[in-house]
Structure 1
Amino acid sequence: MGEGRCSGNSTNVITMLILCMFVFHPKMICAEIFTVGDGQGWSFGVENWPAGKTFKAGDTLVFNYAPALHNVVKVSAADFNACVPKPLSGSTVFTSGADRIVLVKGTNFFLCGIPGHCGAGQKIAVNAI
């Protein structure tokens, strides 16, 4: 009994597509999810939270907080150091209370834009390799 025209080829095509996904999208496969501040969430005093952790481009940071009290702003290094909540070009002020932000290669700077919060340590610098 002969095989149908596509019976062997369709399995090979699917296998090749899956292999291509692994080869061409390794960041998606290996990306990790980190909850900023761990159980404390995005709050005061999280400035040292990234210490000792290894981050890669494509990893996701989850910022959990009460939206009525905080927000998240991705900023430049200068604005981070000066606690100026000016969003990077193409970015926005995040206000959902459960924000998920994908890291880009290099240092990613985040702070809370509510007056006084950045100065109280609600900011983080995360270096992604």
Structure 2
Amino acid sequence: MARISMAQAVTALVLSAATLLHVTYAVNYTVGDTTGWTRPSDSTFYTTWVASKTFRIGDFLVFNFATGSHDVAIVTVDAYNSCNVSNTIQVLPTGPVTLSLNTTGEHYYMCTIAGHCAGGQKLAVNVVANTASGPSGSTTPTSAASSSRGLTFAFLIVIVIGLFC
């Protein structure tokens, strides 16, 4: 069996590490960017904000708002569409709120303060699975990697070292 040089082993290790590290970054999305989570002047504000982003498993939504002025309700699609504040899954009244996106599919949020949802303070995001292309969006990645990715990375490092030694 042919032996691989130390340079080849190190190159393979570095390339493997770079590939794995590229997909371990989560993105913190500040909902509404500098506007924050508020009743917008344009009822399509949050729909427009979402349109240019790709949300992935492990990303975070950060809702910045003043406690008592707004809240974040996690709701069903029906509650979202009708702004039904009596049919919420969970209401988070203390700002700011940071939510981890842990499942794929559509996720729905709204403010339960009277008139706010009808005025456009609601958000629907579609979460997709992670891919090798990494996070997208205009926000800064943070190192909030999942522990399973870290274990996968460590396991692959051990295998690569074992193959080349």
TM range (shorter): 0.7 to 0.9
Partner of residue 38, structure 1: 33
Query: Which residue of the other structure, out of 100, 122, 125, is the alignment partner of 2:98?
Result: 100
- Runs of 4+, deviation exceeding 4 Å: none
Report whether the alignment pairs 1:54 with 2:54: yes
Aligned-partner Cα distance in 2 for 1:84–1:66? 22
Residue range with higher mean Cα deviation, 108-117 or 37-46:
37-46
Aligned-partner Cα distance in 1 for 2:88–2:61? 17
Q: How far apart are 1:80 and its partner, in Å? A: 0.3
Q: Which structure ranks higher in relative contact order (CA pairs < 8 Å, sequence separation ≥ 6)?
A: 2
Conserved in 1, the CA contact under 8 Å of 2:68 and 2:94?
no
Aligned-partner Cα distance in 2 for 1:51–1:69? 26
Aligned-partner Cα distance in 2 for 1:109–1:31? 20
Query: After the TM superposition, which residues 69-108 of structure 1 pair with which residues of structure 2 at under 5 Å, given as runs?
Result: 69-85=69-85, 86-88=87-89, 92-103=90-101, 104-108=103-107
Q: How far apart are 1:30 and its partner, in Å? A: 2.3
Q: How far apart are 1:47 and its partner, in Å? A: 2.5
- The DSSP-based 3-state class of the residue aligned with 1:78 is helix
Identity of aligned residues (%): 38
Structure with greater proportional helix content: 2
- How big is each residue's C-alpha offset from its partner over 1:47-93, in whole Å with a ceiling of 9 and x where there is no partner? 222111110122100000011110000100011000012222xxx21
Structure 2 segments unaligned to the other structure (5+ residues): 1-16, 129-165
What TM-score, normalized to structure 1? 0.73
Structure 1 segments unaligned to the other structure (5+ residues): 1-18
- The DSSP-based 3-state class of the residue aligned with 1:58 is coil
Q: What is the aligned-residue RMSD (CA, Å)? A: 1.9
Q: Counterpart of 2:124 in structure 1: which amino acid?
A: A
